Homo-oligomer: A and B are copies of this chain.
């Protein structure tokens, strides 16, 4: 059973069959899917699932704070269910492959007070870019 579903239920959020399929699709993979990819995969289990439900559901999960929305390539957003675990992202500039990675310190501490422009800074995420093993050879 999906841990994301458990977390969502705690918000008194109704777990309909559609929402369960979407949550399990999101969580059942190590890569971060786009909305269209989630729609496609979820439709294998529930063919009548509509595009609007997938977009609505993903946006609601993000609003509940249980899923992270990633805007890393400017084309489409990707969704990351690992919201509880502090991590960053490593992206291949050749093929777009994305991996979760863990850095050894918290980047919030790297930003001096005089660089904060009066902001209340709450989050920091690092995007590492490079070339994956396959794309280094090409």
Contact = CB atoms under 8 A, between A and B. Distances in A.
Tallying the copies of this chain within the complex gives 2
B129 A127 contact: no
Nearest to A117: B99
Contact of A130 (B115, B122, B131): B122
Interface SS of chain A: helix, strand, loop or mixed? mixed
A64 interface: no
A136 interface: yes
A101 B114 CA distance: 10
A112 interface: yes
Interface of A: 69, 71-77, 88, 90, 92, 99, 101-105, 107-108, 110-112, 115-133, 136
